[in-house]
């Protein structure tokens, strides 16, 4: 960050400018959300829009899927170095490559430089998860991939618009390598929102003058950093360790991988060192550093939010945070390793950090989130004879409980931090060749605790698509011998997941956590998604709450007695006070 300050800083102007730049990022995201096509992009909101300064520092961003949120920045750093002076008004640059700053190949970015009076003043970016980006399998998720070329069309930075002129050859080249026609529509929509954002930024700069704008934006970055330093400075100095386990690399379904983090708090600085994590895997279960950084930031922001601290999400926020990812490890694989599973490993990274900090910040951390599992499927819809792709992200796991608050039921994945929309049951049937049998909370799934984990779900659906395949992308699958996420301070561990596939011929198959399978028409999936881990001694949970859950049918009388020490009569509505007191003594 540069901090050469020539004008007098007025904190009021800084505050107003921060709000303005933030509004630009949000307006861009709103446009993109409403106009984009790829389901993972707009249903899940796997997108981010960012306003950068001319050096590539994030000034403001609007995120829906947290894991992608900070992924736009490392790519821009690469782009700025790559092009040097060769950046012009009217240029549009596209990028996805994970070995030049990308977080996941499917997460493709559009970068637009903004000029005022022929001088570069900033960058606008929109990044989102494309329904397809080439590679050997539609949708890009294939656990059989062993290198980057199998996973995707690599796009190191390329100008698709040069000085305002669309490069038709580049456009057609990219288009020719992507399966779904609407992906190019999404690229149009990203360019559209960056153009509007650029226009808004120019208005702001013209109003305040470039010098005032830049000086005050630097002040804002410093201000975020100051806030973080002040907060970290209050945390006890020391070294703290946490770990989490991933099971299955897609080839060896029972292989366990350790993700471990050593956190050093020293004065006002904090370092997250993941060096002791296991070496990189042979398949897709590797996490590019851009994605790993995003995961660290999610955990950090959750811990700040739990302390009631809300900081503008700009570059300054992360300035006091150091991250170390050992080259050749799961969190910084060597070229040309496959990495499409990387974003999913956010659950492991967050669990490491929460566990590590539970000693010094017991009122801020959550117990373990049950690691997420869902499926992605592609094929042809016989009703229209058109290709379709969809995600069954109504399968929901539970977050962990925390001091004072139960985990949110059926919220799912840490990497989307509660911003991932579930397909509506009716729309799922209307827009893809599926029949959804049921979708409900899974009784007894919440990890017991004074503050229980969030509940998981039970779902079942069948398909009638043609040439359909499905792929799982997750973890914590029971038959693979998964390690549940950890309970805290006496709370129970998380549940586990399992998807049972019944083929039309009656054959059954337990779907692995990272496995691609054919789905002939008439296949039925039955899924159990476990709940999150509990926090604190379950016997301290108020009897009233336990009783209410028994009455609601989400907790059985057996579990109420066994886990919570609450004995409920057969009528399901009254408590045997005497026995309960004895059990809870």
Partner 1 sequence: MSIRIGIDVGGTFTDFLVIYPDGKRRIHKTSSVPSNPPMAVQIGLAEIATAENKTIEDFMAEVGLIVHGTTVTTNALLTRNGPTTGLLTTEGFRDVLPMRDGTREEAYDNRLEQPVPLVPRYLRQPVAGRVDYKGDVLTALKEEDVYAAAEIFKANDVESVAISFMHSHAETSHEDRAAEIIAEVLPGAYITKSSELLAQARYYPRMSTAVLNSYAGPIISSYLSTLTELLEEVHFSGILLLMQSNGGVATPGELAKRAALSLLSGPASGPTAGLLVTAAHGWDSCLTVDMGGTSFDAAVVKDNKPLIMTDGIIDRWRIALPMVDINTIGAGGGSIASVDEGGLLRVGPQSAGATPGPACYRRGGVNATVTDADVVLGYIDPDTFLHGQIGLDREASIQAIKNDVADPLGITVEEAAFGIYQMVNVNMATGVRDITVRRGLDPRDFPIVVAGGAGPVHAGAIARELEIPILLTPRDSSIFCAAGMLVCDFKHDYVQSSNQRLESLSDEYLVDTWKGMMAEGRKTLHAEGVADAAISYVPSVDLRYKGQWYEINVEVDPANLVSPNIAEFYASFHKLHDTLFGYSTLDMPIDLLNIRLTVVGTTPNDRVDLAATAAGAIPEHRRRDIYSPLQRQMVEVEVYQGAAMVPLDEIEGPAIIELGTTTIVVLDEYNTVVDKNGSFVMYLRDQKDTLKARLDLS
Residues 206-225 that bind partner 1 (CB under 8 A): 219-220, 222-225
Residue 306 near partner 1 by CB under 8 A: yes
Buried b (16+ CB within 10 A) or exposed e, 185-202: ebbebbbbbbbebbebbb
**429 touching partner 1, by CB under 8 A:** yes
CB of 485 to partner 1, least distance (A): 14
* Residue recorded with tokens 């919220």: 411
- Nearer Cβ to partner 1, position 43 or 515? 43
Interacting stretch for partner 1, rule CB under 8 A, among 118-126, 424-432, 468-476, 519-527?
424-432
Neighbours of 518 (CB within 10 A): 11
Residue 236 C-beta: closest distance to partner 1, Å: 19
CB 535 within 8 A of CB 488: yes
Is 256 a binder of partner 1 (CB under 8 A)?
Answer: no
| DSSP H or E stretch at residue 169 | helix 168-176
Q: Binders of partner 1 among 383-412, rule CB under 8 A?
A: 384, 386, 393-394, 396, 399, 402, 404-405, 408-412
Residue 15 interacting with partner 1 (CB under 8 A): yes
Please check whether residue 532 is in contact with residue 492, taking contact to mean a CB–CB distance below 8 angstroms: no
Q: Are 52 and 123 in contact (CB under 8 A)?
A: yes
The CA radius of gyration of the chain, in Å to the nearest whole number, is 24
Structure tokens at 406: 């139960």
Restricted to residues 491-530, the positions that interact with partner 1 (CB under 8 A) are none
Q: At its nearest, how many Å lie between partner 1 and the CB of residue 420? A: 6
Q: Are 404 and 542 in contact (CB under 8 A)?
A: no
Task: Please pick, from the candidates 124, 345, 391, 422, the single residue that binds partner 1 as defined by CB under 8 A.
Answer: 422
To 10 degrees, what angle do helices 182-208 and 210-233 make?
Answer: 100
How many angstroms separate the CA atoms of 376 and 341, rounded?
Answer: 13
Check residue 27 for interaction with partner 1 (CB under 8 A).
Answer: yes
Helices (H), 335-464: 346-357, 425-431
182 touching partner 1, by CB under 8 A? yes
> Is 420 one of the binding residues for partner 1 (CB under 8 A)?
yes
Among 119, 166, 305, 581, binds partner 1 (CB under 8 A): 305
Residue 338 Cβ, how far from partner 1 at the closest point, in Å?
27
Segment interacting with partner 1, rule: CB under 8 A, options 101-109, 135-143, 160-168, 300-308: 300-308
> Please, what is the end-to-end C-alpha distance for the chain in angstroms?
58
The binding track of 358-377 with respect to partner 1, each residue x by CB under 8 A or -, is: --------x-----------
Sequence-distant (6+) residues with CB within 8 A of 16 are none
Among 164, 267, 418, 481, binds partner 1 (CB under 8 A): 418
In 481-584, the DSSP E strands lie at: 498-502, 508-511, 516-518, 524-529
Q: Which stretch binds partner 1 (CB under 8 A): 20-28, 97-105, 112-120, 558-566?
A: 20-28
In the complex with partner 1, which residue's Cβ is closer, 109 or 454?
454
Q: How far is the CB of 390 from partner 1 (least distance, A)?
A: 10
Element (H, E) at 69: helix 66-69
To the nearest whole angstrom, how small is the minimum distance from the Cβ of residue 79 to partner 1?
A: 23
User: C-beta of 40: minimal distance to partner 1 in Å?
Assistant: 11
Looking up tokens 């229980």 gives 452
Determine if 196 is a binding residue for partner 1 (CB under 8 A). yes
For partner 1, the closer of residues 419 and 556 by Cβ is 419
Q: Does 34 bind partner 1 (CB under 8 A)?
A: yes
CB atoms within 10 A of CB 541: 26
Q: Is 43 in the site for partner 1 (CB under 8 A)?
A: yes
């Amino acid at each position: 960050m540069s901090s050469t300050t020539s004008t007098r800083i007025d904190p009021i102007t800084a505050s107003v400018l921060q709000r303005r730049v933030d509004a630009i990022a949000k307006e861009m995201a709103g446009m993109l959300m409403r106009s984009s096509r790829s389901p993972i992009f707009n249903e899940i909101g796997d997108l981010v829009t960012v306003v950068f300064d001319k050096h590539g520092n994030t000034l403001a961003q609007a995120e829906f899927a947290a894991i992608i949120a900070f992924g736009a920045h490392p790519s821009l750093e690469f782009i700025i170095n790559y092009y040097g002076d060769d950046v012009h008004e009217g240029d549009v640059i596209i990028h996805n490559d994970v070995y030049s700053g990308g977080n996941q190949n499917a997460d493709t970015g559009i970068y637009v430089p903004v000029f005022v009076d022929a001088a570069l003043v900033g960058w606008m970016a929109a990044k989102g998860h494309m329904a397809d980006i080439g590679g050997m399998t539609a949708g890009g998720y294939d656990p059989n991939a062993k290198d980057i070329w199998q996973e995707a069309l690599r796009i190191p930075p390329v100008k698709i618009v040069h000085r305002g002129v669309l490069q038709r050859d580049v456009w057609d080249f990219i288009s020719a390598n992507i399966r779904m026609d609407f992906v190019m529509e999404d690229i149009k929509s990203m360019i559209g929102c960056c153009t509007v954002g650029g226009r808004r930024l120019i208005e702001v700069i013209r109003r305040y003058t470039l010098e005032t704008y830049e000086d005050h934006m630097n002040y804002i970055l410093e201000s975020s950093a100051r806030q973080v330093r002040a907060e970290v400075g209050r945390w006890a100095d020391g070294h703290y360790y946490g770990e989490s386990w991933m099971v299955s690399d897609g080839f060896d379904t029972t292989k366990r991988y350790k993700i471990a983090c050593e956190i050093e708090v020293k004065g006002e600085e904090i370092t997250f060192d993941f060096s002791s994590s296991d070496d990189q895997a042979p398949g897709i279960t590797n996490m590019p550093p851009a994605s790993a950084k995003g995961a660290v930031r999610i955990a950090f922001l959750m811990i700040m939010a739990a302390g009631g601290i809300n900081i503008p999400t700009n570059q300054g926020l992360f300035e006091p945070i150091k991250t170390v990812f050992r080259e050749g490890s799961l969190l910084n694989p060597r070229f040309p390793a496959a990495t499409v599973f990387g974003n999913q490993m956010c659950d492991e990274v967050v669990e490491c950090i929460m566990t590590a900090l539970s000693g010094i910040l017991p009122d801020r951390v959550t117990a373990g989130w049950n690691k997420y599992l869902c499926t992605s499927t592609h094929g042809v819809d016989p009703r229209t004879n058109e290709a379709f792709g969809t995600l069954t992200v109504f399968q929901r796991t539970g977050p962990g409980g925390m001091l004072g608050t139960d985990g949110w039921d059926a919220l799912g994945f840490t990497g989307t931090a509660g911003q991932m929309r579930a397909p509506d049951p009716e729309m799922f049937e209307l827009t893809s060749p599926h029949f959804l049998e049921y979708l409900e909370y899974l009784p007894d799934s919440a990890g017991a605790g004074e503050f229980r984990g969030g509940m998981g779900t039970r779902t079942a659906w069948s398909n009638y698509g043609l040439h359909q395949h499905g792929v799982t992308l997750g973890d914590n699958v029971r038959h693979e011998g998964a390690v549940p996420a950890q309970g805290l301070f006496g709370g129970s561990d998380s549940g586990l997941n399992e998807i049972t596939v019944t083929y039309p011929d009656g054959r059954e198959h337990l779907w692995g956590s990272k496995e691609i399978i054919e789905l002939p028409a008439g296949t039925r999936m039955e899924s159990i998604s476990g709940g999150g881990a509990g926090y604190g001694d379950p016997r301290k949970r108020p009897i009233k709450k336990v009783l209410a859950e028994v009455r609601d049918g989400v907790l059985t009388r057996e579990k109420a007695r066994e886990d919570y020490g609450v004995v409920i009569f057969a009528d399901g509505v009254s408590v045997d006070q005497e026995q309960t007191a004895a059990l809870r003594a």
